[in-house]
């Protein structure tokens, strides 16, 4: 199921968490590689166990200035879980996590 399909099936949801999917990447030499989705972003998080990788998905609401009704944007945020952590896939759990990540980025990068 694609991200767009998920948010169409569950129109009341704005957040979703899932494992990164495999995707084909074509480099400058035109060779194809199969890699995890957002591989470069996960590598920037430092050394870690690949089993802990997750993507937090946020559907941008219609009142946002970047909203495009023809193709509603979905924000993908790379996230690493702790070893013994399990995260419920509901908006009440995921909203504070994403808010904390965004607040931390705002403090670091202005």
Inter-residue contact 59 to 7 (CB < 8 Å): yes
**Contact by Cβ (8 Å): 17, 25:** no
Alpha carbon distance 97, 101 (integer Å):
6
Place of tokens 């009142």: 63
Average pLDDT, rounded, for the chain? 89
Burial class (CB in 10 A: 0-12, 13-18, 19+), 91: middle
Predicted confidence (pLDDT) per residue in 77-92, tens digit: 998 888 777 889 999 9
pLDDT in tens, 1-25: 889 899 999 999 999 999 999 989 8
Computed over its alpha carbons, how large is the radius of gyration of the chain? Answer: 15
């Amino acid at each position: 199921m694609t991200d767009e399909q998920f948010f169409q099936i569950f129109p009341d949801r704005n957040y979703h968490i899932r494992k990164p999917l495999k995707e084909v990447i074509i480099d400058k030499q035109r060779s194809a590689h199969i890699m995890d989705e957002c591989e470069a972003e996960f590598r920037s998080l430092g050394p870690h166990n690949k089993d802990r990788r997750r993507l937090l998905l946020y559907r941008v609401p219609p009142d946002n200035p970047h909203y495009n009704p023809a193709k509603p944007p979905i924000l993908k945020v790379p996230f690493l879980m702790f070893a013994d952590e399990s995260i419920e896939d509901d908006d009440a759990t995921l909203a504070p996590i994403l808010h904390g990540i965004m607040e931390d980025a705002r403090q670091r990068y202005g």
